[in-house]
Amino acid sequence: MYGWHGRILRVNLTTGKIYEEVFSQGDALKFFGGRGLAIKVLLEGMDPVADPLSPENLLIMATGPLTSTPAPTGNRYMVVTKSPLTGALSNSNSGGVFPTMMKRSGYDLFVFEGAASKPVYLYVDEREAELRDATRLWGLDTHQVEDAIRRETADDVSVACIGPAGENLALIAAIINDKHRAAARSGVGAVMGSKTLKAVAVRGNLKPALHDEKAMRAVVRDANRQLAADIRAGSTMRIYGTSYVPDITNEAGVFPTFNFQYGQFEGTPRINGPTLKEHFLVRHGGCYGCPLACARITEVKAEEWGEQYAGKGEGPEYETIGSLGSACGVDNMAAIAKANYLCNELGLDTISTGLTIACAMEMYSKGILSEEQIGRSLPFGDADGMIAMIRAAAHRQGFGDEIAQGSWRLASKYGHPELSITAKKLEFPSYDARGLKGMGLLYATSNIGASHMAGDTAYTELFGVGQKVDGLSYEGKAQLTKHFQDIFAIIDAAGLCVFVAVRYTLDTANGYVPTRIAEMINHATGSDYTPESLLEAAERVYNLERIFLTKAGFTRADDTLAQRMSEPMPAGPIQGETFELDRLLDDYYAARGWDAGGIPTRQRLEKLGVAHYV
C-alpha cells in the first residue's frame, strides 16, 4: 500500500488493551483518509445517540494520505468524535508537528474507546505503543505536560494533550498539540478528558512509500513555485498571517462587534495585522515543512504592556482577534494575545470561549445578568474581566462554570437563547452571515455547526480568490456552498491545510475542481482519481456524516442560524441586511440529493455505495 500505512491503532482505555487493525486498499480509496476513514469507523463503532461524555463515544485521531509527504502543507490531522457541546459531529483539524510524527509512528488512525480508571497517556514510538500513568500530569497545563513528557521520553517527541479545561469537562475544551496548535472546536478536549486520557505522545520515522516519488516531487515543485511567486509579490499571509483579515472584514461590515450586534468595530486599527507586527511579532513560524509560514511567534513584554498581559507564544490569529477582540469590544492587542496564550495553555477553543464571554457581556449590558451573579462587572471592552473569565472557565470556578458550557446553554438558562450566536450550538466564526450569504448557508448546513473550516465560501465572497462572488447575493449560493464543503472534505481527508490547498481548486482555468490535489494523491498512493471522482469521494464522506447526524436525531429544524442573523444589520456598509435561510435551504438539499427534510435519499446513497449505513 502506498501513501497509507493501512494500520489503525485501537486503544481500549477501560481494559488497557492495545491492538492493531488493518484496513484494505479498497477502503482507503473509497473513504480516502482523515475525515473519511474516521467517520466510517465512528459509524461502525458506536451508537450515534450515545452520550458524548460516556465511555461509548469514540475519540479518533486521523491522518490522511498526504500527511507527512512532500505535498505543500501536507501536515494536518483530524480529531473526530461526537461533540459534547452540540450533540453533532466534531471533526477538528490541527497542524504543527504532531500530524507528521503521528503518521511516522506507523499508523494512520488512533481510535480510543472506553475510559481509563486513572489518568494515562499513550506513547507510540514506531509501532511500539503503551499506556503510561499520567497521574502526576493531571492538573498541569498543556505546556507543562509537553515538557514533562519530553523529559520522560525523547526530545523529538510530539505531544497532543488537554489542559485543565479538558480535565474539568468544559464543553468548549480543545486538544492542544505542540503547545500552540489546537484541534479546537466542538469540545473535543472534553471527550478526551472524559476518557481520563491526558495526552498522546508520538515519534518515529516510518514514512509510507510513495507510488511515484519523482512525479510527486515535480508537482510539488510547481506548486511551491506558484506559492513562492505569491510570497515575492507581497503575500499578506506571509507578512501578517491571518491577522491581516480584520481590516478587510471591518471594511465590508462583517466583523463581529459586541456579540454580532454590529459589523464594524472602531478599535480595529488597534487589533489588526500591522499592530501585531509592529509591537508584538518576534518571528514567523509554521507547521512542519510548510513553505508559507503563516504563524506569528509573538511576545507581550511586561515593561511595555503590563505584567498582567505578559507572555509569549503563537498568535493571535484572525478568529481569535474577532472572538476575543471585537466581539467582546476589546481593542487592546496585548490583552487579546494574553487571552490567546491562556486558552492554549489551559486548553480552550478561542472562538467558543470568546463568543460565550461576549454573550455574557451582552447579557450583563442588558441587565439580564447582574454583577452579583457573575461575581464582578463584565461590560463590553473589559479586557481584564475577559481574562478572568477564561481562567474561571477552564477550572469551572464560580461563573466560569457557566462560560465552560458554551453560549447556547448560558443564554438559554437565563431565558435568552437568541443572544447565543450559534448554529447547532456551535459559536460562529468571525464572519457575519448577513453580509456573506454563502457563509450563512455553510454555518446552517455544516455537519459540525458554525465553522469556517467546514467550507469557507469567504474565499470567493470576500477575498475574491479565483473569482469574486457577490456576498450579498443569494444566487448560486446553494451550489457554491455544497462545492466548498466537498472541497474542504477532500482537503481534510487528504491531510492538507486549506490555506494553500484551497487555492488549487479556485483556479478558473481548471473549472474550480481539485486537479492538482488529485495529481498529488495519485502520485502518492497509486490511485487513479480524477477531479470528478475525488469530489464524489468527498460527497461520500459528507453523506456519511449526515447519516450520523440523522441517527443522532438531527432534522431540518437543526439546519438553522442564530436569531440575530434575521435581524437587520443596524449600521455600516450592509445596513438593513438580514439572512433569509428559506431562500436557500431547499435548493441546497436538492443539490445534495437529499429530501425536503434534509435526509440523504436512498438513491443518492446507493450511487455513493454507502446505503448500507442507513
* The dihedral sign for the CA sequence 478, 483, 486, 492: negative
Distances 589 to 114, 542, 546, 556 between C-alpha atoms, Å: 36, 13, 12, 10
DSSP string, 128-147: EEEEEE-GGGTT--HHHHHH
Strand, helix or coil at 415? coil
Q: Which grid cell sits at 401? A: 462554570
Q: Beta 426-427 vs 128-133: how paired, if at all? A: unpaired
At residue 509, the pLDDT reads: 59
Contacting residues for 444 by C-beta, under 8 A, at least 6 apart: 423, 559, 560, 561, 581, 585
Q: Where are the alpha helices (DSSP H) in 113-212?
A: 142-152, 164-167, 188-194
DSSP annotation of 474: -
The three-state secondary structure class of 423 is strand
CA-CA distance, 447 to 488, in Å (whole number)? 12
Determine the Cα–Cα distance for residues 548 and 447; give it in Å rounded to an integer: 9
In degrees rounded to 5, what are phi and psi of residue 82?
A: -85, 130
Contact 343, 349 (CB under 8 A): yes
**Max CA distance (Å), the chain:** 67
Give the pLDDT of residue 514: 85
Is the CB of residue 402 less than 8 Å from the CB of residue 414?
no
pLDDT at 212: 96
Contacts of 188 (CB under 8 A, 6+ apart): 59, 79, 81, 83, 90, 92, 173, 174, 175
Predicted local confidence at residue 73, as pLDDT: 86
Which tens digit of pLDDT belongs to each residue from 272-325? 999 999 999 999 888 888 877 888 899 999 999 999 999 999 999 999 999 999
List the grid coordinates of 350: 478561542
H or E element in which residue 548 lies = helix 531-551
Q: Which residues pair with 183 in a beta bridge?
A: 175
Strands 181-183 and 175-177: antiparallel
Residues 235 and 299 sit within 8 Å (Cβ to Cβ):
no
Nearest to 477 by CA among 605, 569, 545, 579: 579
Cell of residue 57, nine digits:
463515544
- Return d(Cα 540, Cα 610) in angstroms, integer: 7
pLDDT of residue 232: 63
Q: Which three cell numbers stand for residue 140?
A: 498541569
Alpha helices for 366-436 (secondary structure H): 371-374, 383-395, 400-403, 406-413
Q: What is the distance between the alpha carbons of residues 293 and 605, in angstroms, rounded to a whole number?
A: 40
pLDDT beneath 70, residues of the chain: 230-235, 506-512
Q: Can you give the pLDDT at residue 449? A: 97
Question: 296 — phi, psi (to 5°)?
Answer: -115, 120
Q: How far apart are CA 538 and CA 287, in angstroms?
A: 25
Is 145 in contact with 198 (CB distance < 8 Å)?
yes
